[in-house]
Chain A
Amino acid sequence: MLRQVYINKTVLDAARERVSYVFDEFDNIIVSVSGGKDSTVLAHLALSEAHRRERRIGVFFLDEEVVYDSTIKQIEYILSLYPKNTIPLWIQMEFALTNATSLIESQLICWEAGKHKIWMRPKQANSIKFPPWDRKKETIRDKNKGFGFYDALDNFQNSRENTAFLVGLRATESPNRWRAVSKNPGYKDVFWCTKMKHGNVSMYPLYDWNFHDIWKYIYDNQLKYSNIYDYMYKKGMGLQEIRVSSLIHEKSFKALVELPEFEPKTYNRLLKRIKGISIGNLYGKDSKMLRVSKLPKNFKTWIAYRDFLLATYPDPERKPIFEKRFVRHLNNRYVARQQCRQLVLNDYENNLPVDNKPDPREAMIEKWRALL
């Protein structure tokens, strides 16, 4: 658990000072938004400052197409807060997303040309519909995986110079990630940021906020927020657990279980858009299916299950990615279970990395052997 030290200043005052500092230091500022509560607060803080200084800042949204309708409404709301101070950077271009719910259609090319009839919704009139960077300089992290979400993000950032990208990252949400990004100052003596190429800096003015600080700000300023939070709250989920995410990739497919209840029309369109959606809806939280936490009865060991999944993996282009990765891993039950999860969820991008260590169950067995 991250230890928080309280000082005689509110997080809101501190965040306002940080945002003000960014405006003092940078001519170009872009706020990244996802439609979630954190980025809504950050965008409001930054746009309020822009309004006060009569400046214009970019509001960047990389549209994955397969998102909640509520997310789209929220982005439209953010763009409407201070239109005179906003440069809309709503990107709706083709890139690949992992589809964790189907091995047959393992990728979704969002906004794929020629499929506009089954797109989740038409493109926005004011969106950027083609890559806003020099295609000759375009980079790609892994050619085997194809041009994905993070490639779009990288290229967009690399197309800018001396720009501050404001991101709603909070340390309490991901202490490990926070430790990784804040180890060294990213700009002058500022630790709440990360240095990037071309003089760009990714900055986190809300890094010390807790989730209740976010909700208090939303309430105090009467901001709108995504309906998904209300739906999830009504389902009895804890305030810290409710989050707005994408709908199909390996970390978010669980959202499909409740999607028909929350947004039936979105679910209906998604069913037509890509394969595997009903599987995600039925088995997204099933321990023997997509959660991969219990071994199916027809396998005696996780290693046998892993070998079966790998041998029958249907995509010949992606299969070598898994084979090459697994060769470097230990061959035990603990690791094999995680490998099964990667295979079932089609995680060729390694977004659910395998904790490659000896099986803790072995230690338990040794303990009982010594005591009994």
Chain B
Amino acid sequence: MFCFYWRGFPVKYKVDCEVEYIEYADIEMYKYFYRLLEEIGQDSLIVMDSCMRTQNRSELIYNCAHHYLGQTPHRIIFEYFPIIESKADFMVLLDFENKGKYKGKGFDYVYLQNEDIKIKPVKVKLETINVETTEKDRERYEKKKEQLFDSLGEKDPDTIPRNLQILAGDIKKKAIEPDNLYVARNKRFKLDNVLSYKEITGKGNYSVIDIHYRRLNFNDFLRTTGMSKIKYLCTTLPIDTVIINEFAKWKARCDAIYAQASLYK
């Protein structure tokens, strides 16, 4: 039995046979690749656990995994959320199951029924905690926004909302309560009860100041903490409206998949 897992979520299975655990990043390494191609055979079982780490279905590391998976009919694919960001991400998991069958095909809900897929829905609810803004805060926001657009140059336009979220986060500082735990993009608040995403390694209940701009990292945070209710410090600034809308769209995509898949009981 071979188990491929991601370092953020190490696993240990209680099974009678010998298990080799291989970290996701090592899948494409030569030292593993050639050896595993020789060792994985028809009677091997491959478990892919939390290996959907990029949305690019053609990523070299996925291709390496497909080579291993193609050598045995015994495969189990585990993933916490069915997608990273878009529905198309689900095809990464189906490619693990059978690369050739879904080559070049886009997502279709019918696959959820055609394949042996069981889903245990992870329901997440977002609640907002309103943070008042002053005229001065709004002026500061507008000024920063204009400055970001003016100095964009060759930078990625997506850096604009990221930077505005940092500014909005600063405005939320006054709403931070000493008895609660919070998560923010970085350590800029210099408060013991405000942690960065990297620092959180276990279960807990955190109020969110900045939602991580990479969906995958935010999903990891939800899994690590086991939170089912997100309390988001929210201003009336447009950036927070954008963030809440984007989260609601992501949640709707997950819910649509949960609604049409067979449930794990």
Contacts and interface: CB of A to CB of B under 8 A. Distances in A.
Nearest to B239: A372
Contacts of A361: 157
B153 A301 contact: yes
A236 B63 CA distance: 6
Contacts, number: 50
Contacts of A365: 149, 152, 157
Given A236-B33, A365-B152, A372-B145, A1 B104 contact: yes
Interface in B139-163: 145, 149, 152-154, 157-158, 160-161
A371 interface: yes
B248 to A, nearest CB: 14
A236 B60 CA distance: 7
Contact of A236 (B64, B103, B105): B64
Contact of B105 (A1, A237, A371): A1
A364 interface: yes
Contacts of B67: 233, 236
Interface string A219-262: 00000000000000110111011000000000000000000000
A212 interface: yes
A300 interface: yes
Nearest to A236: B64
A241 B104 CA distance: 12
B66 A372 contact: no
Interface in A271-308: 295, 300-302
B10 interface: no
B106 A237 contact: no
Interface string A357-372: 0000100110011011
Nearest to A210: B103
Interface in A319-370: 333, 361, 364-365, 368-369
Given A234-B34, A300-B154, 12 more contacts: A1-B106, A236-B33, A236-B67, A238-B58, A238-B63, A302-B154, A333-B154, A365-B152, A369-B149, A372-B145, A372-B164, A372-B239
Interface residues of B, number: 28
A79 B135 CA distance: 82
B28 interface: yes
Contacts of B164: 372
Interface in A63-120: none
Q: SS class of chain B's interface: helix, strand, loop or mixed?
A: helix
Contact of B103 (A233, A240, A302, A371): A240
B226 interface: no
Nearest to A363: B157
Interface in B156-192: 157-158, 160-161, 164
Nearest to B152: A365
B160 A372 contact: yes
Interface of A: 1, 172, 212, 233-234, 236-238, 240-241, 295, 300-302, 333, 361, 364-365, 368-369, 371-372
A240 B149 CA distance: 41
A369 to B, nearest CB: 7
Given A237-B60, A371-B238, A364 B157 contact: yes
B153 A300 contact: yes
A236 B149 CA distance: 42
Nearest to A337: B154
Contacts of B73: none
A1 B67 CA distance: 24
A229 to B, nearest CB: 14
B242 interface: yes
Nearest to B238: A372
Interface string B44-72: 00000000000000101001101100000
Contacts of B103: 240
A238 B66 contact: yes
Contacts of A364: 157-158
B146 to A, nearest CB: 10
B204 interface: no
Identify which of B100, B149, B154 gathers the most chain A CB atoms within 10 Å of its CB.
Answer: B154
9 contacts: A1-B105, A233-B67, A236-B63, A237-B63, A295-B154, A364-B157, A372-B160, A372-B238, A372-B239
Nearest to B63: A238
Identify which of A233, A236, A302 gathers the most chain B CB atoms within 10 Å of its CB.
Answer: A236
Nearest to B149: A369
B59 to A, nearest CB: 10
Contacts of B66: 238
A295 B156 CA distance: 12
Interface in B1-49: 28, 33-34
A26 to B, nearest CB: 34
A372 B154 contact: no
Contacts of A333: 154
A172 B105 CA distance: 13
Contacts of A302: 154
A294 to B, nearest CB: 10
Identify which of B63, B64, B100, B153 gathers the most chain A CB atoms within 10 Å of its CB.
Answer: B63
A212 B100 contact: yes
Contacts of B238: 371-372
Give 5 nearest A-B pairs by CB, closest first: A236-B64, A364-B157, A238-B63, A365-B157, A368-B160
Contacts of B154: 295, 300-302, 333
